[in-house]
Every structure is written in structure tokens, then in C-alpha cells.
Structure 1
Amino acid sequence: MDRLKGLEYYKRIVELGSFTAVAEEFGCSNAVISKYVRFLEDWTGARLVNRNTRTISITEEGQSFYDYCVGVLSNTARVMDDLRQDDRAGGQLVVACPVSMSLTILAPVLFRFQQAHPELVVRLRQSDAMTDLISEGVDLAIRATASLDDSALVAIAVGTMPRCLVAAPDYLARHGTPTTLAELGQHRCLIFSLSQDSQHWQFGEGETAQTVAVSGPLVSDNSLMLVEAACHGLGIALVPRGYVSRQLASGELVALDLQPEPVSRTIYAVYPDRRHLPQRVRLFIDFLKTELAATVAAA
């Protein structure tokens, strides 16, 4: 049997706490996972997992063996990366990213990356929730915040998202066009619940910084829902400009030119803190920096 594959299976068993979850992740059966666990227990001469029909638990010896697996797999990945003499990267790159960002700003970047590295499989996990990178086997998450929920993670800035205020012409005809930031407080505003400034929109920096308390008829954890609501005349939305480029070009939405401008959001690449970052992750981070800088410049 493939001992290295067994170490990969066992590492994920400990992290996911389920044979079934590991079988689904690797596209095999529970029987295969069980067979590999027995193989590893025969090899080590120790019981690694206590299991019954419903639950499993890791033995003390099993926990020590998990640490061994992590070390071996990490060193193996490092050696394989170091042995490569070109910029190719094989295997699978697992990326977690917010739904709205992935469908607008990131989609063309991800497609170009895959075209540049066709031997690499890109596996996307689209969710606006904060993904647990380590337990879910994610190589890298793309987020609009540097806040880390785990000290074992690293965040690096890879780009920015300029934001803008938008509304439908119909809404402005009915409610008037605000001419100052202070007037936003009297308008129907569309709230993105996951934003750092969800109900206190931030504008300018340093001496020009201002905060405006806003409220309105719709609160959502998906920015594209707010864009649709704005298009239907429900109110004013504060969203990344890249999310509404098509609607602004068609006239479906109008950008409000109020000064100072909304505070931009920084895009971060978040990944597990490793001494040797896998080549596929390094290539992707470098690609993001270049491509996102070009995207912002063209906006």
C-alpha cells in the first residue's frame, strides 16, 4: 500500500474527526480509509484510532503519530517543490473566497491563473463565512479583512477594492440625490452585514476621515443581493466598484460623487503559517498581486 497516501488519509482523519468526511474529500470509500488505518496500525504496532459505529477518538499514540504525519507531509512537499527546476506547479490548490468577490473581481483572475498553470487543479470553496483553513484542508483564503481567528495563520495584502456609493436613477428621482455625506443619514441605505463599517460607513482617511451612521430597508450578508436591490430602486448601496462596473456602464446604476471617497477595502491572502509554503500557493499569491493591481488600475 502507498504509505505516504496513508499518512495523508490519517492526518485528515484527525483533523476532520470522521472516516466518512475523509472518504468524501479524497473521492474514495470508507472501506478504503479503514483499510489504510489498519495498515498504519500494523506498521506502527500501535492502536491509533478507537472507533465504533458512530464515533471515533484518537489515542495518545495516535496523536503522536499525527504530529509525525504533519512533519513528514510538510517536508515531502518542501522537497518536491525545491526539486522542481521551473515554475510549474502540480496537484490541487484549494482556495476559499467570498461569493460576491469570487463572482466579480476574482473570477477572471482565477481563470487566467488556471490557464497559465493547466497542470494544477483549482478547487474553489465559495462562502461568505470564515473558513477554518486547517481543519478544512484549505491552502489559501481570500478575504477583505486581515483579522485572523487563528494564530497559526498569516495574512498578506494582495490588492485593494475601491468602493463607491450607487443608486438607481429611479430612486434618486423619488428621494433626491444627496449632495453631502451627512445627508446619507436621511436616505434609505442598503447594509452589508459582514462589513467592518456595516452601519457606520467610513469615508476619507487621516484629517478628512468621516463616519456616517446609516440605516435602511435591507440588510444582507451578500453584496450582490444589495446590488440587485439598488438596481430595483430600494436605496443607496456602498459596494466595491468592481461589483457594479456593468451596471454603471449601462446606466442601470449611478455613482454618487460625494467627498471624501469611501474607504477602500484591502484584499488579503490568508494561509497557514508554514516554514515552507507550497509552490502552488506561492505562485498563486504572486499572480494575485500582479493581476489585482492591474484590475484596480483599469477600473
Structure 2
Amino acid sequence: MDRLKGVEYFRRVYELGSFTAAANELQCSNAVISKYIRYMESWTGSKLINRNTRTISFTDEGERFYRYCVSVTGQTRELLDAVADADNLTGTLVVASPVSLSIAVLSPLFIRFQKENPSLSIRLQMSDQLTDLVGSGVDVAIRGVEAPEDSSLIAARLGALDRILVASPGYLENATVPTSIAHLRSHKCLVYSLSSDANQWEFMSPTGSGKPIAVEVEGPLVADNSMILIEAAKAGLGIAMVPRAYVNADLKNGSLQQLKLDADPVPRSIYAMYSDRRYLPRRAREFIDFIRKSL
């Protein structure tokens, strides 16, 4: 049997916590996974996994063996990167990225990167929910945030993501046009639920003190996707705070108008996040560099 494959199979069983999940990801049967786990236990001379019909748990030897598996698979990946054709990226790059950011900003870059590297396959997981990089086998997660919160991940800033306030001409015709952030309390505001300032929009202090000013907002629609909020703003439901890059076309054609208040929204940045610099595949490193330069 292939010992290196057994190491990889054990690693994914550990990270996913399930034989079935590992089998689905690796496109094989539970029986194959079980066979390789037994092979690893025979090779190490230790019981690695306690399992019954419903759950699995890992012995102390299994915990130590997992750390060995991470080291082996990472070093193998580094070696293959080093000896591979320098002009030819291969394998599968798994990227997790928010839906709106992917569609509005990143999709042309994903396509261009793949066209420039035709031997590379890109698997894109689009979700506005935060992703467990290890558990889902993701190489790189892209996020538009004020600052990364997960200290267990490495974050590389790729570019700026400025936010603005927008509303439709129809909404502004039927409401007093706000000129101050304090006026937002009396307006219908469209809330992005996954933002760190979802219900209290943050604005940069005009005095330059560095501490943001928070304004409590509420309105008729709360959603976990910015594209829905943009459509709602165009339909006249209220004011939305969204990245400028998402609404450039709407500002040009007049379906939305930017509101100029006495303070600007706290900007966001685009970050690439990954779990381990030492074992980051070359295809992921070059992808991150490409996105940074393109942005």
C-alpha cells in the first residue's frame, strides 16, 4: 500500500473528524479509508483511533501521529514545489472567498490567474460565512475586514476596500437628505449582518483622534450578503453601507447616489488568510502575490 497516501488519509480523517467526510473529499469509499487507517496502525504499531458506529476519537499516539502527518505532507509539498517546472503551476488550489467580493471584484482575477496557469485547477468556495481552513481543506481564504480576528491564522493584506453610503434617488426624494452621521438614526438603514459593525456603523473621527464614532442604525432589511442590500437600496428601501467597488456601475448610471456626510465610514481591507507559512503550496503563494499586484 501507498504509505504516503495513508499519511494523507489519516490527516484528513483527523481534521474532518469523520471517515465518511474524508472519503467524500478524497473520492473513495469508507472501506478504503478504514483499510489505510489499519495499515497506518500496523505500520506504527499503535492504536491511533478509537471508533464505534457513531463517533471516533484519537489516542495519544494518534495525536502525535497527526503532527507527524502534517509535517510529512507539508515537507512533501515543499519538495514537489521545488523540483517542479518553475513556469508551470499544477495541482488544485482551493480558495474560500465571500460571495459579493468574488462577484464584484475578484472573479476576473480568478479567471485570469487560471488562464495564465492552464495546468492549475481552482476550486472556489464562495460563502460570506467564515471558513475553517483546516477542516475544509482550504489553501487560502480571502476576507474583506477591518482587521483579522483569528490569531491562529496568518494574514497578508492585499489591498483597500473603501466603504461608502448609498441610496436611490427615489428614496432621497421622499426623505430628508442626511448631511450628518447623527441623521442616520432617523433613516431606514440596510444592515449587513456579518459585519463587525452591523448594527452600529463606524465612522472615522473628524478630529483625527483615531477612535471611531459608532452610530446605531436599524431598518427594514438585514442580510448576510451585500448584493441583496444593494438591490434593496436601488429599490428605495433605505441607505446601505457597502464597498465602493461593488456599486461603481450603479453610481455611474444613476441608480444609486453616494451620500456625503460629516465623517467617512471606517474602511476595510482585503486580506489573504492561511494556516501555515512553512507549508503554503507554491501555487497558493503565487496566487496571493498575483491578487496583491492586481489589486
TM-score, normalized by the shorter chain, greater than 0.5: yes
Q: Which residue among 246, 271, 276 is the counterpart of 1:273?
A: 276
The count of corresponding residues between Structure 1 and Structure 2 is: 291
* Shift in Å, 1:283: 0.5
* Shift in Å, 1:85: 4.8
SS in 2 for 1:207: coil
Tell me the amino acid that sits aligned with residue 113 of structure 1.
Answer: F
* Shift in Å, 1:131: 1.2
In 2: Cα distance, 1:15 partner to 1:126 partner: 21
| Counterpart for residue 75 of structure 2 | 75
Tell me the amino acid that sits aligned with residue 222 of structure 2.
Answer: V
Tell me the amino acid that sits aligned with residue 121 of structure 2.
Answer: V
What whole-Å deviation, never above 9, does each CA across 1:82-140 have from its counterpart, x for those lacking one?
Answer: 22351432111111111221221121111111112221211122222211112222111
Percentage identity across paired residues of the two chains: 53
My pick for the range that moved more, 184-193 or 82-91, is 82-91
Matched, 1:166 2:166: yes
| Counterpart for residue 131 of structure 2 | 131
* Shift in Å, 1:48: 2.1
Tell me the amino acid that sits aligned with residue 184 of structure 2.
Answer: L
| Counterpart for residue 259 of structure 2 | 256
In 1: Cα distance, 2:204 partner to 2:96 partner: 30
Matches within 5 A, 1:115-126: 115-126=115-126
| Counterpart for residue 190 of structure 2 | 190
| Counterpart for residue 297 of structure 1 | none
| Counterpart for residue 295 of structure 1 | none
* Shift in Å, 1:21: 0.1
Matches within 5 A, 1:46-125: 46-125=46-125
Q: Which residue among 207, 223, 229 is the counterpart of 1:220?
A: 223
* Shift in Å, 1:215: 2.2
In 2: Cα distance, 1:164 partner to 1:87 partner: 41
* Shift in Å, 1:259: 4.2
Q: Which residue among 234, 237, 249 is the counterpart of 1:231?
A: 234
Tell me the amino acid that sits aligned with residue 149 of structure 2.
Answer: L
In 2: Cα distance, 1:118 partner to 1:85 partner: 13
Q: Is the 8 A contact 1:152 1:273 kept in 2?
A: no
| Counterpart for residue 245 of structure 1 | 248
| TM-score with structure 1 setting the length | 0.90
SS in 1 for 2:135: coil
* Shift in Å, 1:205: 5.3
Q: Is the 8 A contact 1:165 1:237 kept in 2?
A: yes
Relative distance call for 1:276 and 1:42 in structure 2 (3 A) is: closer
Q: Is the 8 A contact 2:47 2:59 kept in 1?
A: yes
Relative distance call for 1:249 and 1:68 in structure 2 (3 A) is: same
| Counterpart for residue 286 of structure 2 | 283
SS in 2 for 1:274: coil
In 1: Cα distance, 2:112 partner to 2:153 partner: 26
Q: Is the 8 A contact 1:205 1:263 kept in 2?
A: no
* Shift in Å, 1:222: 1.5
In 1: Cα distance, 2:196 partner to 2:51 partner: 43
Q: Is the 8 A contact 2:98 2:127 kept in 1?
A: yes
| Counterpart for residue 148 of structure 2 | 147
In 2: Cα distance, 1:14 partner to 1:282 partner: 25
What whole-Å deviation, never above 9, does each CA across 1:172-218 have from its counterpart, x for those lacking one?
Answer: 11113223333222211111122222233233457256443322222
In 2: Cα distance, 1:214 partner to 1:28 partner: 50
- CA-atom RMSD, angstroms? 1.9
Relative distance call for 1:186 and 1:73 in structure 2 (3 A) is: same
In 1: Cα distance, 2:124 partner to 2:97 partner: 7
Structure 1 unaligned runs (5+)? 293-299
Matched, 1:16 2:19: no
